[in-house]
Amino acid sequence: MKFFLDTADVQELRLGAASGLIDGVTTNPSIMAKTGRPLKEVVQDIVKIVNGPISVETLSEDAEGMVREGKEYAAMHPNIVVKAPLTPEGLKATKALSGEGIKVNVTLCFSAVQALLAAKAGATYISPFIGRVDDVGLDGMQLIRDIAQIYKQYDFKTQILAASIRHPVHVLQSALAGAHVGTLPFKVFQQLYSHPLTTIGLEKFMADWKAAKK
């Protein structure tokens, strides 16, 4: 399973990259807006920090505009993946961009049939938002399982990118369900390392070692 960081915060990305365990980055307009900086400037920073797929979302409402923006993004760096919304216009843009060899991450996926449409449009990644599905009282993880089954059945190459991850159990369940990628808020990535028995065990090892050396 690949780990992407779901952030445009340069400090978080530097720390994540230093771990050696981060394979890529996803952003969205909310994440970009939080930086308070011009989008293209932020993208230029990110590509220097993380060597892997970097999703950058289009802002146009029509397919023509999304294709134009997508081409601009793709021209900035070979690692850029264009993020397009799961709308009729977004999927038209997905088909056009993927037809030209540009990778597309289709975002805002909340149902397995939407994911089926995205795969048919040639998406490289589909982003089901599991936390937001849970938020409305449904089962986000079932969405991942359903998409995995459909893609396997028809041998679609579109990769499942579990998004809107809120806690380590989402990561565990996404991995069990066969998601190819999990995009994690930095805090969740840090939480993955933690286990109280690791902390207690290490403290005891060190204490025993120091006591024996006296």
User: What is the helix (H) or strand (E) element at residue 67, kind and residue range?
Assistant: helix 63-76
Task: Give the pairing of strands 54-57 and 125-128.
Answer: unpaired
Smallest gap from residue 121 Cβ to ligand G3P (A):
19
The answer to whether 26 contacts ligand G3P (rule: CB under 6 A) is: yes
Helices (H), 109-195: 112-120, 130-135, 140-154, 168-177, 186-191
Q: Is 83 an active-site residue? A: yes
Give the residue nearest to ligand G3P (CB): 164
Q: Binding residue for ligand G3P (CB under 6 A) from 132, 142, 168, 186?
A: 132
Residue 108: phi and psi, rounded to 5, are 65, 45
Smallest gap from residue 108 Cβ to ligand G3P (A):
8
Q: Cα torsion for 171, 51, 54, 146, to the nearest 10°?
A: -30
Q: Which stretch binds ligand G3P (CB under 6 A): 14-22, 61-69, 127-135, 189-197?
A: 127-135
Which lies closer to ligand G3P via its Cβ, residue 79 or residue 164? Answer: 164
Site residues (CB under 6 A) for ligand G3P?
6, 26, 28, 129, 131-132, 163-164, 183
